[in-house]
Structures are given as C-alpha cells and as structure tokens.
Amino acid sequence: ETEVIPDRKLLQHISRVDSSGSRKTDPYLEFFLGLAICNTVVVSMATAERQRASGFSRSGQTNNRLDTLSNVAKKPFSLRHIFTSWKNKPKRSRTISEDSVVEEDHFNAPLKIDGSGNTDGLQTCSLQAPSHSNDPATTPDNVTYEAESPDEAALVYAAKAYGFTLLARTPHSVTVRLPSGEDLVFEVLDTLTFDFNRKRMSVLVRHPITKECVLYTKGADYAIMELLGTSCAEHLRGKQKNIATDTQHHLDFYGKEGLRTLCFTKKVVSKKVYESWLVCRRNALAAIDNREELVMETAVQLETELNLLGATGIEDRLQESVPDTVVALREAGIRVWVLTGDKPETAVNIGYACRLLEEEDLVINMSCKNKLECTSILDCTLEEVKRYSEDPRNVDTSQDIALVIDGRTLTMALSSDLQDRFMDLAKHCRTVLCCRVTPLQKSRVVKVVREKLKVMTLAVGDGANDVNMIQAADIGVGISGQEGMQAVMASDFAISRFKHLKKLLLVHGHWCYTRLANMIIYFFYKNVAYVNLLFWYQFFCGFSSATMIDYWLMIFFNLFFTSVPPIMFGIMDQDISAEMLLGVPELYRIGQGAGEYTFTTFWVSILDAFYQSLVGFFIPYLAYQDSDIDIFTFGTPINTISLFTILLHLSIEIKAWTVVHWVTMLGSVALYFIVTLAYSAMCVTCNPPSNPYWILHSQMADPMFYLLCIITTVVALLPRYMFHVLRNSIAPSPLMQARRLDRLDASTRDEWMKEWRSIRGLGQVRRSRLSPPPSPTLDTPADIFPQSPTASDIMADDLTLNVITENYQRPVHM
C-alpha cells in the first residue's frame, strides 16, 4: 500500500508555511525533508513495466493508509495522530506538539521563491532550485520507489503524502519537490551507510539555498538519543531536553504498541569542520589496514551534537496465520527463540500478538548495565527459576517462563564465564526473546545453543541481517519477500510465507524423518538377510567361500532387483496424512525422541533378518535333502525366495501405497525373472567353471519350486506380521492411533481427534483456561510480569531491583 491520508490540520500548516512569501524554515518541513532525503530509496517511473512489478503496488482506494507506517513529526506528530481526527486530539497533546518545535538559528533567513523557481540572492549554479516541470513522467503520481526494506519506502511515501516528493536520486544529488511545486536539488556530499554497530545512517548534503552542509541522520532511538547536542543556547537547550523527554515517552508508547521506532535528527556542519572531516574520511577510505574500523570512526566523529527533528513508528504487520503457526510449533515441542533488532517493548508486544507469550506466562526481563550486575541477576534468577520449576504446586500450572534480554546484557551473558549459567537459565524457559541484537550476536547465540544445549537448531529469517544466523544453524530457512533474497540464497530451504514453516516442519519434517529412519533400517535388514544365506552355506562347504548363487545374479540382486522399491519407500511413503499431522502437532515429538530409529527397532530388524535368512536357507535345504540336484539348482529357489521375502517385508512397512509403489514392486519381480531366464538361456559358461544354463527354466517346471517359494516366504514373514498385529492391538503407539483416525471420514476424524488430544495429549499436560492458574511463587531480581498484580523489592548483592507485575497483556517497563 502506498496511499497515505495526511492529517488535515498538519497539511494546512505545512502548505501555509511553504507558500508564505517571507517565512522561516519550519521544523515540520525539516522533518519531512529528512524523511525524503535520509534513505537509499531509488526512484523509478510507474510507466516502466519493470518498475510496476517492483513489489510496491498502488491501491485504487484513497482511504487506505500506508502499510506499516505510523510516524511522528517532532515527537507528537505521528501518523497515528495524522490518521486520527485533529478535533479528537486532547488539548494537552496539541500544546505539547507546539512546544516540540525548535527554531534553529542557522535556518532563520527568509526564503523567497517566485513562480519561476528563482530564489532571491541565489547564484546561478547547478544547485539552483529548478522551475517546476510539466513533464508528465516527472509528476509525483508517476513516481514509484524501490527500497532495500519496506520501512524506508513507507517513510518516503509518507513524506510524499505531505507534499515532499522524492523525484530523483543519483550518487551526487537528491531532488525533492516541495508542497508548493518547486524542486530543490541537494548535492550529496557523502552517505554514511547503516551498520549494526552504529545502528543508524546519515546523509550529508549541501542545501541549495543556504549553501550550508546539513547532516540528516536516522536510526534506533537509543542510539540517537545519546548523540543529541548540548552546546546550543540556554533557552534552546531546555526546549531540546523537553522535546527529547516527550519524544521518548511517545517512543515507549509506540514500542508497547508493537511499532518499530526510528529517530530523525539534523545537524548543520560548518565549512571548517566539513573540510577537516573530509580529509579524515578520504584517508580512511584509502586505508588498507583496518579500513572498516577507520571508516566507522569517521562516521561516529561526524554524528555528534545532533538536533532532534522527530520520530517515526512503523507497524511491522504480522503475516497471516503467524499465531497459529507459533502455537503449533510450541505444541510440537519446539523451543522458539526470537532474535530481533527491535527494542524490548516492541519485541514483547509482538510476542503477545503472535502468541509466543501468553497472558499467564511469567516474563523475566533482564537488562543490565555491567557484568557484575549481570552475574548477580543470572545467579539469583537461575536459583529462583529452579525453585519455581521444582515446586510441586507449579507442575500442572499453565504458566510458562519466558526470558526477555537486550543486546547489551546478552553480550555479557554470552561471555565465557557466564555462558553455562545463561544456558542453564534458558533451558528452564519456554521462550527466549533477545532484543536489540546484531547479526553477529544472532549467529553467536545459535552457535552457543548448539554447543551447550546439544540440540538441533533451525534458524528462520527474511533479511540480510539474518544470513549469519541462518548459516550458523543446523538448518536454515529463508523467507522470500520485500526484505530481499539474501536470506533465501543462504538458506537450506526457502518459503514464501512464515505460515508455511508449520507444514515444512510438522508434515514434511515428520515424513522425512520416518522415511529416512525406516529406509536405513530396511537397508541394514535387507543386506543382513541376503548375505546370511551365504553364511549358512559355508557350514556345508567347509568355509571355502563357495556360493550356491551365481555371481552375476548376486550382483544384480542389490543393483537392480531390490534397489528401486526401497528408494521409492524412502521418497514417497506417508505414514500419516498431512491433515492429521497439522491437526495434532504433538505427533512431531515422536521424531524428536527418535521414536522410529531406536536401539530396539534396529536390533529387532537385524534379528528378524537372521531369522528370515535361516528359514530361507534351511527349508529348501530340508526339502532337497538326499536329492541329486546340483549347486545352482539348490541356490536358485533360495535366491527367488529371498527376493519375495525382502520385497514383501517392505510391503508390510509401506503405509501409503501409490501407483509408483505397485509399479516398482511388480517391475522388480518381473525384471528378476526376465533377467534370470535370459541369463540362464544364453549364458552357458559366462562365469566358469559355473554353468547356470537352463536352471530357472527347469525349476519353473517343477511344482516343488512354487511350493517352496510360498511356504518359505510365509514362514519367514509370519513373525514380522504377528509382531505388528500384536503391537498395534495391545499397546498401540500414538502414530498407530493417528493412522486409525486417518481412516475415518473428515467429520468423525475431527471429533475423535479433539477427544484423543484432550485425553491422551501424548503425555503432555493439557492446559485449560477455565481454571485460573495458581499464584506465582517465583521471586527473581529481574522484571517479572505474571497475570496477578503484585509488586515487591528484592535485595541481591547490594542491588535493589524491582519485581513488577501487571494484569495488562503487555508489560510496562519501569
């Protein structure tokens, strides 16, 4: 969505100031200029076919608000205010808005622009404000934007809604059209790109009218607030401080509403400072050693003594079915950690919105200033969490423990001496939210979790800042979208929406595990069953390594006759339908516990293979005892029996028969007889001194051959068949129960599914919101937010820390 409905009062104010013959630059105008300039958005024309498919669709409805945007010009002027009627705003809010405006001395010169676009006192040069163009291709309605992220595009579209249209961007200039229709061409002196250490970006431009060097900066609120200037006049210093305080209150409110916040600032750089800085900048760019560090130092050197223009709050709207997906993953026994660059308030709000956090959960908020404080809080919190978890009163409670930790505290918690304690605490938490983390911290967390907790990790991301995390995890999943394709290119699996993760894990993950586990066990079984036929024969040939089966037929047995059906079994078998797996996420736990590939199942299959080889050898041996048949006449029935036994054994294991299974099974049997008959008919001495000539032809004319094949195969498979029957009848597993429900019609299956989950629950305590949870007994020196309202103070290592609880859905930090 690219349509923004501007606030009528604010739009009138901007239009009145902009059209004034003698006016001073208004702070609101500077804010929207910052929105239009301080970004890396590329301008394109809507008439270009490629640009129309760039991902930003125009809505035909003028009442649609900008997707994911709520911004504030000077602290109070947010799009949340903009989209609300000005008449409904409290008087106090409007007063604060006016107090938030800062008049800057360096921009107090009158600005006069005539109808032709000429500016009084402005020399003729490339920076002169050009006259309004009537070219339809450059009209604001025909301009579209391509941005690295939807957030940047949203801010530029918001500036456009108030008349500040970004018309063109080149490496050396930025053209902005004012509400009056005049164009200003700003010379771009330098662009300080965003990085995760500074958490901000800046654009240094030369103003076309005043010729001053102006630095526009935007970034995370906590990174910007630390850089605000204090060297201004005394009367402005107090006003700036008040504006910063009021803005911080609004930023906190936006964070609790789940909005992603940014601050915008401006700084006028003197000519002397710019020239001195430019020399350092060029030296840093030309450096060979430590180039990145030097470049970042020059950026930090310039980004000081900033003047606050305003703040924005962008709604990071959840995709559809995200809460259902998160709940399903939790029911499947998957621990979900959120590693985000958002502030804690925003992350917690999103956690509640996507049902990662529940109202009754105990939320531990850890935010430390130094390592000593972090150590004390970790020790005390870990002790209390263990005591809470071991309390019998909390065994059946529906309250889970969630941990919220910021990036600075996380850095200290991941240090070598605190890693074990932090991981021990994380093990007791159902959910962990790491906020304000950098890409390197994301990958570090994944590596530490893999190393310390000895678990399988899966990382999901959609942007370039998630690449390190995706590559560090055992399995990486990239979500394709407006954030780019970097995450997809670095991942093992790619999905288009987050909701597809549910099917990827619960359905395809379960199928993949059961297929591979059963196929591996089957391959071991198949080879043991076949090779042991030769082992039993060695007792009758003095262990001379002689065989009763022709060498070529032995080679073809694994290579052709019994190779394709197991592969199809490992690719296409479905033990349970997708609907059942999605409806009962707890079935995924079977794979987590290696329920299919266990010590017992493996050795039972091996013993079964020994038994089948024993039956497959000695029944034909007893049948042909005291006869005058030759060695290959004795071995051919054994080879045929082994083929039928191995394939029928696989038939018992297949849960979902398809046409492919039937074709491969029958094709393997047909291929065996065709190849063996042809080989026996044509090869007289292909492998001297053996002579398999006409052996199978003679056998197929003997009724004894058919009788042996039937009786021996039945006797060999009878224990396996009876084992399955008894196990599924006496002690059916959850998988077997799910298969039985699968055979019912849809309505009956849904009813039985609900009843089965509520009664059995796969050993998990089923939670009910009908009965209130017991009162929390956890005391910890971190901020805690359970359901019932309590408050207390705890002393720990000379640290006075508050335990804060709210009966409000979203915790309020104090």
Q: Over the Cα atoms of the chain, what is R_g?
A: 36
492 known member of a binding site:
no
- Judge whether 535 is annotated as a binding position: no
Report the C-alpha gap between 140 and 6 in whole angstroms.
16
Phi, psi of 743 (to 5 degrees): -80, -10
Reduced to 3 states, what is the DSSP secondary structure of residue 114? Answer: coil
379 is in an annotated binding site: no
Rounded distance between C-alpha atoms, residue 242 and residue 770, angstroms: 48
Report DSSP letters for 264-332, one per residue.
EEEEEEPHHHHHHHHHHHHHHHH-STTHHHHHHHHHHHHS-SBEEEEEEEEE-PPPTTHHHHHHHHHHT
Is 452 marked as binding a ligand? no
Neighbours of 376 (CB within 10 A): 17
Q: Is residue 143 helix, strand or coil?
A: strand
Residue located via tokens 């308030």: 345
Contact between 10 and 73 under an 8 Å Cβ cutoff? The reply is yes
Task: List 135's β-bridge partners, or say none.
Answer: none
Q: How far apart are CA 263 and CA 71, in angstroms?
A: 10
From the number of C-beta atoms within 10 Å of its C-beta (0-12, 13-18, 19+), residue 651 rates as: middle
Q: Distance between CA atoms of 201 and 640, rounded to whole angstroms?
A: 74
CA gap 3, 58 in Å, rounded? 7
| Residue 298 labelled as part of a binding site | no
Tokens 């053996």 map to which residue? 690
Q: Residue 574's closest CA among 668, 660, 664, 643?
A: 660
Residue 341 in marked binding region: yes
Report helix, strand or coil for 475: strand
Q: Rounded to whole angstroms, how far apart are CA atoms 791 and 479?
A: 42
Q: How far is CA 320 from CA 67, 453, 500, 719, in A?
A: 15, 32, 10, 50
Q: Cα(154)–Cα(151) distance, rounded to whole angstroms?
A: 5
The pairing of strands 165-170 and 70-73 is: unpaired
User: In this structure, are strands 799-804 and 791-796 parallel, antiparallel, or unpaired?
Assistant: antiparallel
Tell me the C-alpha distance between 410 and 526, whole Å.
51
Q: State whether residue 419 is helix, strand or coil.
A: helix
462 known ligand binder: yes
Q: What's the rounded Cα separation, in Å, for the pair 265 and 214?
A: 10
Compute the distance between CA of residue 812 and CA of residue 172 in angstroms, rounded to an integer: 45
Name 266's bridge partners.
216, 307
Beta carbons within 8 Å of 694's beta carbon, 6+ residues apart: 680, 681
Q: Determine the Cα–Cα distance for residues 591 and 508; give it in Å rounded to an integer.
A: 12
CA distance 578 to 588: 12
Burial 573-583 (b: 16+ CB within 10 A, else e): bbbbbeebbeb
Is 340 assigned to a binding site?
yes
Give the H or E element holding residue 166: strand 165-170
Is residue 194 a known part of a binding site?
yes
Residue 668 near residue 561 (C-beta atoms within 8 A)? yes
User: For residue 44, what are the CA distances in angstroms to 40, 140, 170?
Assistant: 13, 11, 12
Confirm or deny that 264 is annotated as ligand binding. no
- The pairing of strands 431-435 and 401-406 is parallel
User: What's the first-to-final CA gap in the chain, in angstroms?
Assistant: 36
Give the sign of the dihedral formed by CA 97, CA 99, CA 104, CA 105: positive
Interatomic CA distance for residues 554 and 534, integer angstroms: 10
HSE, side-chain direction, 13 A CA sphere, residue 171: 0
Binding residues: 152, 194, 218, 260, 340-342, 436, 442, 462, 465-466
Binding-site members for Mg(2+) are 462, 466
**Known binding-site positions for ATP:** 152, 194, 218, 260, 340-342, 436, 442, 465-466
